[in-house]
Amino acid sequence: MNRSTVIPFGPQHPVLPEPLHIKFVVEDETVVQAVPQLGFVHRGLESLVRTKDFNQMVFVVERICGICSCIHANCYCNAIEDMLGVTAPPRAQFLRVIWSELHRIHSHLLWLGLFADAFGFESVFHQFWRIREHVMDICEATAGNRVILSINVVGGVRRDLNLDQINWMLGELDKIENGMRELTRTMLDDYTVQERTRGIGVLSKDDARLLGAVGPTLRGSGWECDERMHGYAAYKELNFVPVVEHDGDCYARCKVRFNETLHAIELVREALNRLPESELTVKLPGNPDGESVFRVEQPRGELFYYVRANGSKMLERMRVRTPTFANIPPLLAMLPGCKLPDVPVIVLSIDPCISCTER
Which positions touch other proteins (CB under 8 A)? 11-14, 17-19, 39-45, 47-48, 51-52, 59-60, 63-67, 69, 110, 113, 125-126, 129-130, 132-133, 136, 146-148, 353, 355, 358
Strand partners, 355: none
Closest distance to other proteins from the beta carbon of 34 (Å): 20
Closest distance to other proteins from the beta carbon of 57 (Å): 10
- Amino acid symbol at 321: R
Contact 117, 308 (CB under 8 A): no
Strand partners, 291: 308
Strand partners, 304: 295, 321
CB-nearer residue toward other proteins: 136 or 166: 136
CB-nearer residue toward other proteins: 130 or 274: 130
Q: Within 10 Å of residue 32's Cβ, how many Cβ atoms?
A: 14
Nearest residue to 136 (alpha-carbon basis) of 128, 146, 144, 145: 146
CA pair distance 334, 347, nearest whole angstrom? 9
CA pair distance 70, 159, nearest whole angstrom? 13
Q: Within 10 Å of residue 341's Cβ, how many Cβ atoms?
A: 11
Contact 337, 33 (CB under 8 A): no
Closest distance to other proteins from the beta carbon of 45 (Å): 7
Closest distance to other proteins from the beta carbon of 46 (Å): 10
CB-nearer residue toward other proteins: 130 or 236: 130
DSSP 281: B
Closest distance to other proteins from the beta carbon of 20 (Å): 10
Closest distance to other proteins from the beta carbon of 182 (Å): 14
CB-nearer residue toward other proteins: 110 or 200: 110
CB-nearer residue toward other proteins: 259 or 355: 355
CB-nearer residue toward other proteins: 27 or 133: 133
